[in-house]
């Protein structure tokens, strides 16, 4: 079923709106095509259903190689929020689906038809849809908070569809089966069938919303800004991540790993590429890093590969009475097969340790930026310009970061210790990530280049 007006009347406005979204993966000149349009039925028996003139559509667009998921509501009633409006055609308003309660009800019916949603969840969503609100601040997805009578729930709409088994669904379901309590296991989901693709794609997922928590990165940056001791929460976070890796190994098994020489060679290639673009990565830094990597190359046996989070940093955690871990989809722009591939648990550890480096940059800073938001291009306040005072602040920042990293590792090993090979592997993966960060910051946020560059200097045995 198609729109109640010519598609050609909507398409230019829809393309313009899509290009302005933070989740749009293309450039200004990326061609956009219409791949599929289907209508989602609304519950006939629902006393809270909107007027008969309201319709919900699932639209799939092609943007270069990407497939975009754009739920739309077409209604004769003017929406309350002007920001949700995409177009006004004839006497119909075209609205961004996640921002309209009709989409919540239609999706609940869709998930129930796919046998993934319990009846009691379905009923509570339909009743509470009118009070749903879309959250802000996300880059790759759109999330809607629904305050149901059995507790708040979060509906995540995946804006980029990828046919195949999605790690977010696969991993969170597995952790739920394992009884791992630090994840919000899915309560329902729906899959999209896309013309020309044999595999379905995850389009929407529903999970409990965790309340009374702070964003993990914001929590640690607040500690850093106050120069407060990070060791206790960092230790407990290390314990939680270790338990996550144990649960993942039990659910998905372990696999043979690469040799230290292979890892060292790959990281050296990344360093050389970064140095070719970023002049601040000087020859003495490269030489020091390569010498450090040569130590890893002598290890033939490294820890086995397991399923991991894949994109772990402090911003993927929530701090409250306990720690919660979010967003198991991996790096969104990588192919699903790559994201589902077993890897070193040390990669997650390295990502978390690098995140402490960014949090530590806030020591002595009253107003801190969200350093994990790639769209936040504000300059980091300079705390190491000149003089004794700035030098003291820099030293406190280094000490704070070291304390947080050491406490995290202590919690991760829980009374044990890292082997020499594990320690060198974590360092190598931290170097790999810091090299990537220098290129990113050089291109997009040059005022922040000093953060990963200081890490590379430290690993190279030079003064930060």
Give tens-digit pLDDT for 298-351: 998 899 999 999 999 999 999 999 999 999 998 877 899 999 999 999 999 999
User: In this structure, are 187 and 236 located in the same domain?
Assistant: no
In a domain, 298, yes or no: yes
* 386 alpha carbon, distance to own chain's centre: 37
Q: Which residues contact 314 (CB under 8 A, 6 or more apart)?
A: 216, 217, 219, 220, 352, 355, 356, 358, 359, 372
Label residue 383 by pLDDT band (50, 70, 90).
very low
Determine contact, residues 211/224, Cβ cutoff 8 Å: no
User: In this structure, are 155 and 223 located in the same domain?
Assistant: no
Residue 99 pLDDT more than 70? yes
Domain containing residue 21: 7-208
Residue that is last in its domain, among 208, 229, 253: 208
Q: What is the pLDDT of residue 364?
A: 67
User: In this structure, are 300 and 434 located in the same domain?
Assistant: yes
Q: What is the pLDDT of residue 82?
A: 85
State mean pLDDT over 46-62: 78
Residue that is last in its domain, among 169, 189, 208: 208
In a domain, 1, yes or no: no
Question: Which carries the bigger pLDDT value, residue 388 or residue 30?
Answer: 30
Domain total for the chain?
2
In a domain, 24, yes or no: yes
Residue that is last in its domain, among 170, 186, 208: 208
Name the strand (E) or helix (H) holding 155. strand 151-158
Q: What is the pLDDT of residue 29?
A: 92
* 239 alpha carbon, distance to own chain's centre: 21
Mean of the per-residue pLDDT values of the chain: 92
State mean pLDDT over 148-156: 95
Q: What is the pLDDT of residue 59?
A: 98
pTM of the model: 0.90
User: In this structure, are 114 and 72 located in the same domain?
Assistant: yes
């Amino acid at each position: 079923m198609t729109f109640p007006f010519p598609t050609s009347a909507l398409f230019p406005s829809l393309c313009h709106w899509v290009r302005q979204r933070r989740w749009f993966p293309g450039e200004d000149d990326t061609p956009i095509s219409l791949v599929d349009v289907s209508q989602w039925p609304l519950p006939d028996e629902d006393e809270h259903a909107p007027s008969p003139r309201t319709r919900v559509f699932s639209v799939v667009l092609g943007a270069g190689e990407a497939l975009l998921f754009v739920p739309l509501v077409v209604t004769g009633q003017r929406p309350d929020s002007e920001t949700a409006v995409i177009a006004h055609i004839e006497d119909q308003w075209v609205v961004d689906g996640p921002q309209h309660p009709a989409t919540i009800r239609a999706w609940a019916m869709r998930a129930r038809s796919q046998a993934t949603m319990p009846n009691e969840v379905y009923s509570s969503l339909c009743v509470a849809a009118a009070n749903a609100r879309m959250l802000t601040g996300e880059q790759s997805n759109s999330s809607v908070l629904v305050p149901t009578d059995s507790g708040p729930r979060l509906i995540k709409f995946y804006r980029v569809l990828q046919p195949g088994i999605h790690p977010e669904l696969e991993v969170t379901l597995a952790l739920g089966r394992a009884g791992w309590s630090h994840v919000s296991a899915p309560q329902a989901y729906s899959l999209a069938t896309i013309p020309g693709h044999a595999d379905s794609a995850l389009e929407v997922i529903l999970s409990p919303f965790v309340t009374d928590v702070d964003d993990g990165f914001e929590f640690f940056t607040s500690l850093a800004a106050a120069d407060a001791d990070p060791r206790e929460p960092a230790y407990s976070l290390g314990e939680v991540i270790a338990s996550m890796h144990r649960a993942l190994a039990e659910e998905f098994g372990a696999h043979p790993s690469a040799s230290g020489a292979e890892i060292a060679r790959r990281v050296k290639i990344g360093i050389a590429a970064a140095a070719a673009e970023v002049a601040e990565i000087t020859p003495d830094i490269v030489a020091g890093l390569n010498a450090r990597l040569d130590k890893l190359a002598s290890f033939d046996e490294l820890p086995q590969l397991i399923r991991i989070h894949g994109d772990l940093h402090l911003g993927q955690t929530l701090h409250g009475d306990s720690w919660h871990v979010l967003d198991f989809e991996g790096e969104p722009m990588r192919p699903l097969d790559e994201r589902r591939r077993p890897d070193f648990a040390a990669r997650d550890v390295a990502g978390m340790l690098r995140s402490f480096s960014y949090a530590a940059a806030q020591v002595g800073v009253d107003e801190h930026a969200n350093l994990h938001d790639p769209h936040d291009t504000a300059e980091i306040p300079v705390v190491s310009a000149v003089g004794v005072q700035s030098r003291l602040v820099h030293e406190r920042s280094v000490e704070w970061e070291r304390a947080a990293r050491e406490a995290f590792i202590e919690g991760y090993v829980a009374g044990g210790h890292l082997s020499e090979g594990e320690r060198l592997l974590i360092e190598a993966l931290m170097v790999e990530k810091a090299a990537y960060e220098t290129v990113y910051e050089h291109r997009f946020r040059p005022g922040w280049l000093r953060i990963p560059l200081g890490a590379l200097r430290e690993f190279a045995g030079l003064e930060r």
